[in-house]
Structure 1
């Protein structure tokens, strides 16, 4: 992804957003709803992980899409296509959309902190 930030959000939070949409479909019919709770580069994510998990080291491997496409694992082509698409997005999606649908949406740092506390209480999960 280089220095292109990715829209981020918790799957659980986005699930809550989708539940609200499904419960009130008339408000959202024929609309494209773009969900994001933050924008981070892969380097930002690696730094955040590094700050929270002392026993692990994270880094941004800076793998070009052309190299990623050559990987031999199921789904590599689809992931490479997704990364290529995200690099074409010129304007960030508005963060207030997800927040208006589900007011408890977490930032990436909040989500990481929650994962850190789970790992500290149950080491079998980590």
Structure 2
């Protein structure tokens, strides 16, 4: 019961960081779902143009994915600690072998992966 309340509180906090409330989002059962490695990009890319044409903001909740449409929202869960973050796809990549998503520095911080740099994750497309 206590763990359930903690998880519920965590998702409530994460929703406050997204552009919509967390209860407005739900996993798209027919959408993209995968497990693999995530990395993040930060300071040296800050301000550069992304593939979508917008400027990369390391303090935004955004990510790069090879094929998901720009503007898609995904739930990224760190499989080492079960922490999750909702991000918006605005760039292409990652191009490193074995990686499925590159997160902004802020998104990476929210799932406690800054120290490790690369972590196993689950990526689930959300219904908009």
Interval of TM-score (by shorter of Structure 1 and Structure 2): under 0.3
When normalised by structure 1's length, the TM-score is 0.23
Greater relative CO (CA pairs within 8 A, separation 6+): 1
Q: Which of these two proteins has the greater Rg computed from alpha carbons?
A: 1
